[in-house]
């Protein structure tokens, strides 16, 4: 349990802040909104296209520790520790197989992205954001939900910013959903 | 409700007058869905099954140092698993003996004392009351020793920690029965015990615990349908149902093992590639020739359930343990530990985590689908008519014997337990439920 190994977990600011309204801030905000829209609308293949080839997509396992002992994110155990090939397999399964029962029928999800902070660090554009994902399955009365902070790193490839690192820091230690067949 | 629970004898009758045994069609191998959803049955199985069995709590590697602790569930109760200064392991109820406050709401840490936040009672890692404010005034002529926390019996084997509340339960090794042979193949074959990579993954699922536990007894019948998506996209080869399955007839454990013929015997580096290759030669030293010959044929217990709710999957690439933790009749918390060898390097450890995430766990591409299918089962089990319907198990292959049933392409099976080969019969799943029924009816341990 070493929270220090999870980058930016304690709200550190390694880079140079980019203020709201700055063209770069607006570009990142637009990217995050576009991404949420693609995922909400189940346009998963298009979403894959927005990712950098070197993407690291991680959601560490979390435990409750005493105050002062860290945020509880494990440096190794993870719900996701994916590269682009692994993410592509997940998407391919959902889109191409009629037997991906977790998303057959598709769950309906809505991502609320907020509290966006942007920084520049070397070649990377760093973005922190909060995300709330509400997910409705079949005719279930209740929503499944995940809330998390995301630490993202974007890198410019050609003219476009591509997501190259995402760290998803969830607030629950015991996610209350039969599965995470959705992306945050 | 029968009064037989107190004496531990005689068949159990439910509050509406139904004898528990009537919920089982022993001849046609059917079970009433009520067994998976009735709150009264759930309460009974908490005391009759979980209150008596050896339950898995975690790995010794999770609490390596004196004062280390991990908070874990034993059925409905929270317990603290602690490491004493002398290296011993204790399992104490997570409860102050004064007014019953839960002592620990963190998941893990290191502490030489557990202090109750209500009146300040202080407990040692082995549950002794060490001090309290105004000790002389509160105790009067009493004795602090009377206020020790209740402890469970602890057993460890191969680095795994188990506990039971029942003083009459035989030793853990006795409890394993003939399954000891297979347990040791995975956990006692190396110089060092296996460790877990980080804390367990946890998530909650709306199902009865027995649905998951029986699946991991070795339901190979579901593979080709439930998991067809993985073959659809070419991630895994065609999933075959034919298999070798086994059952410990006395204690209810069961397993599924892939078996290669002697001719196609792949090297251990392939079939056990989740271990660092340099430790593989240790296996032959620690295991007996029969155990080793099965490992050589690629046949460790690949998927298994140790009754009641510990399961594992030992694929060639990764290995995980898990508990199907009962929370309510239709709710479990699933905890999954990724296993690794202590000498594994960071890359090898990471590969195990990634192997799990892609396949099992809440993000795994196999288990994502199991989870929703199981929750669809639970929906019908909890409905008016559905709860009175029956779930069905396949016809029996009969008692296996050395001439028939065994290992048609690999020669005689060298291990104990009842073992069948070919199309899976559900004999091993049924065996799990028969052990459950035995305990629920107050049968002897």
Q: How far apart are alpha carbons B319 and B196 in whole angstroms?
A: 10
- Average pLDDT, integer, range A4-14: 51
Percent of chain B with pLDDT strictly greater than 70:
94
What are the pLDDT digits (tens) for B390-437?
Answer: 999 998 887 775 544 444 445 578 889 988 887 888 999 999 999 999
pLDDT of residue B262: 64
Chain B neighbours among A 112-151 (CB < 8 Å)?
137
User: A91 touching B, CB under 8 A?
Assistant: no
Lowest mean pLDDT among B288-292, B308-312, B400-404: B400-404
pLDDT at B398: 79
Read off the pLDDT of residues A54-103 as tens digits, 9 standing for 90 and up.
Answer: 999 999 999 999 999 999 999 999 999 999 999 999 999 999 999 999 99
Burial class (CB in 10 A: 0-12, 13-18, 19+), B106: middle
Say which range, A69-83, B189-203, B249-263, B335-349, has the weakest mean pLDDT: B249-263
From the list B353, B182, B156, B368, the residue with the least C-alpha distance to B274 is B353
Asked if B419 contacts B407 with a C-beta cutoff of 8 angstroms, the reply is yes
Of B26 and A4, the one with more pLDDT: B26
Q: Which residues of B touch A90 (CB under 8 A)?
A: 365
B60 pLDDT tier (thresholds 50, 70, 90):
very high
Which chain B residue is nearest to residue A98, measuring alpha carbons?
Answer: B229
User: Residue B170 half-sphere exposure, CB side, CA atoms within 13 Å?
Assistant: 9
**Percent helix, strand and coil across chain B, each to the nearest 5:** 30, 25, 45
Coil/strand/helix, residue B215: helix
Average pLDDT over chain A, rounded to an integer: 93
Mutate to test the interface with B, among A178, A182, A184 (most CBs of B within 10 A): A178
Query: Are A93 and B365 inside 8 Å of each other by CB?
Result: yes
Mutate one of A60, A179, A180, A184 to test the B interface: name it (highest B CB count within 10 A): A179
The pLDDT-based confidence of B9 (bands split at 50, 70, 90) is low
Non-local CB neighbours of B324 within 8 Å, separated by 6+ positions = B209, B210, B212, B213, B309, B311, B332, B334
Q: Is the peptide bond before B308 cis (omega within 30 degrees of 0)?
A: yes
**Residues ≥6 apart with Cβ < 8 Å to B333:** A174, B73, B202, B203, B204, B205, B325, B327
Report yes or no: B239 at the A interface, CB cutoff 8 Å.
no
pTM of the model: 0.95
**To 10 degrees, what angle do helices B346-359 and A84-96 make?**
10
Provide the ipTM: 0.92
- The beta-carbon neighbor of A93 closest among B200, B233, B373 is B233
Mutate to test the interface with B, among A77, A79, A85, A173 (most CBs of B within 10 A): A77
Provide the pLDDT for residue A1: 34
Instruction: Tell me if B257 sits within 8 A of B417, measured CB to CB.
Output: no
Residue B8 has pLDDT above 70, yes or no: no
Q: Token match 């963190």: residue?
A: B106
Q: What is the pLDDT of residues A139-151, one digit of tens each?
A: 999 999 999 999 9
Helix (H, G, I), strand (E, B) or coil at B307: coil
Measured CA angle at B152 (ends B150, B154), to 5 deg: 145
Least Cα separation, residue A32 to chain B (angstroms): 23
Contact A101 B229 (CB under 8 A): yes
- pLDDT at residue B401 in the model: 57
Q: Look at residue B297 and tell me whether its pLDDT is greater than 90.
A: no
Pairing status of strand B160-164 against strand B153-157? antiparallel
Taking CA–CA distances from A92, the nearest residue in chain B reads: B233
Find which of A78, A104, A133, A140 to mutate to test the B interface (most B CBs within 10 Å of its CB).
A78
H or E, element range at B295:
helix B289-296
Mean pLDDT (whole number) for B297-305: 88
Whats the size of chain A, residue-wise? 184
Residue B227: Cβ-neighbour burial (10 angstroms; 0-12, 13-18, 19+): buried
**Which residues of chain A are within 8 Å of residue B349 when distances are taken between CB atoms?**
76
Residue B127 pLDDT greater than 70, yes or no: yes
Q: What mean pLDDT is predicted for residues B8-28? A: 90
pLDDT in tens, A44-55: 999 999 999 999
| Closest CA–CA distance from residue A17 to any residue of chain B (Å) | 33
A80 touches B: beta carbon within 8 Å? yes
B 158-197 → A contacts, CB under 8 A: 197
Q: Which residues of A touch B198 (CB under 8 A)?
A: 1, 61, 74-77
> Which residue is closest to B62 within chain A, CA to CA?
A1
Query: Tokens 């057993």 correspond to what residue?
Result: B155
Task: Report the chain B residue with the minimal C-alpha distance to residue A77.
Answer: B198
User: Would you call B107 and A72 a contact, using CB atoms and an 8 Å cutoff?
Assistant: yes
| Gyration radius of chain A's alpha carbons | 17
* pLDDT, greater one: B317 or B45: B45
- Cross-chain Cβ contact B203/A92 below 8 Å: no
* A75/B198 touch (CB, cutoff 8 Å), yes or no: yes
Q: What is the pLDDT of residue A12?
A: 60
Q: Do B371 and A75 touch (CB under 8 A)?
A: no
């Amino acid at each position: 349990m070493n929270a220090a190994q999870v980058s930016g977990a304690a709200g550190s600011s390694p880079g140079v802040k980019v203020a709201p309204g700055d063209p770069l801030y607006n570009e990142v905000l637009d990217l995050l909104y576009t991404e949420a829209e693609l995922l909400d609308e189940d346009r998963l293949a298009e979403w894959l296209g927005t990712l950098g080839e070197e993407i690291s997509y991680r959601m560490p396992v979390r435990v409750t520790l005493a105050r002062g002992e860290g945020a509880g994110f494990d440096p190794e155990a993870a719900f996701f520790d994916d590269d682009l090939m692994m993410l592509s397999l997940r998407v391919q399964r959902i889109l191409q197989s009629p037997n991906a029962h977790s998303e057959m029928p598709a769950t309906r999800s809505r991502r609320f992205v907020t509290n966006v902070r942007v920084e520049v660090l070397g070649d990377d554009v760093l973005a922190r954001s909060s995300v709330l994902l509400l997910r409705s399955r079949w005719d279930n009365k209740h929503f499944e939900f995940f809330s998390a902070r995301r630490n993202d790193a974007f890198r410019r490839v050609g003219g476009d910013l591509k997501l190259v690192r995402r760290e998803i820091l969830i607030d629950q230690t015991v996610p209350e959903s039969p599965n995470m067949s959705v992306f945050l | 409700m029968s009064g037989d629970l107190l004496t531990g004898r005689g068949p159990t009758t439910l509050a509406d007058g139904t004898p528990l045994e009537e919920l089982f069609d022993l001849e046609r191998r059917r079970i009433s869905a009520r067994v998976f959803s009735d709150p009264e049955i759930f309460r009974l199985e908490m005391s009759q099954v979980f209150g008596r069995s050896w339950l898995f709590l975690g790995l010794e590697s999770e609490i390596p140092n004196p004062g280390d602790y991990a908070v874990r569930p034993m059925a409905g109760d929270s317990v603290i698993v602690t490491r004493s200064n002398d290296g011993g392991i204790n399992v104490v109820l997570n409860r102050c003996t004064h007014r019953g406050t839960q002592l620990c709401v963190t998941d893990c840490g290191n502490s030489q004392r557990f202090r109750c936040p209500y009146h300040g009672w202080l407990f040692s890692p082995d549950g002794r009351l060490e001090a309290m404010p105004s000790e002389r005034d509160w105790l009067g002529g009493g004795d602090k020793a009377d206020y020790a926390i209740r402890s469970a019996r602890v057993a460890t084997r191969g680095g795994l920690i188990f506990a039971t509340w029942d003083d009459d339960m035989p030793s853990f090794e006795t409890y394993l029965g003939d399954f000891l042979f297979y347990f040791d193949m995975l956990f006692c074959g190396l110089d060092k015990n296996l460790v877990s990579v980080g804390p367990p993954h946890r998530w909650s699922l709306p199902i009865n615990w027995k649905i998951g536990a029986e699946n991991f007894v070795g339901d190979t019948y579901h593979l080709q349908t439930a998991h067809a998506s993985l073959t659809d996209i070419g991630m895994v080869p065609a999933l075959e149902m034919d298999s070798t399955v086994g059952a410990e007839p006395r204690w209810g454990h069961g397993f599924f093992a892939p078996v290669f013929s002697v001719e196609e015997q792949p090297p251990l580096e392939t079939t056990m590639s989740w271990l660092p290759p340099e430790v593989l030669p240790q296996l032959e030293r620690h295991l007996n020739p029969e155990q080793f010959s099965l490992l050589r044929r690629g046949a460790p217990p690949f998927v298994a359930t140790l009754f009641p709710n510990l399961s594992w999957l030992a694929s060639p690439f990764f290995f995980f343990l898990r508990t199907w933790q009962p929370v309510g009749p239709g709710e479990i918390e699933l905890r999954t530990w990724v296993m690794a060898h202590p000498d594994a390097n960071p890359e090898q450890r990471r590969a195990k985590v990634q192997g799990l995430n892609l396949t099992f766990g809440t993000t795994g591409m196999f288990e994502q689908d199991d989870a929703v299918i199981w929750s669809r089962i639970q929906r019908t089990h909890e409905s008016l008519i559905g709860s009175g319907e029956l779930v069905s198990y396949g016809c029996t292959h009969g008692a296996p014997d050395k001439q028939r049933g065994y290992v048609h392409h690999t020669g005689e099976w060298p291990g104990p337990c009842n073992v069948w080969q070919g199309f899976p019969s559900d004999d091993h799943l049924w065996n799990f439920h028969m052990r459950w029924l035995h305990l629920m009816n107050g049968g002897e341990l």
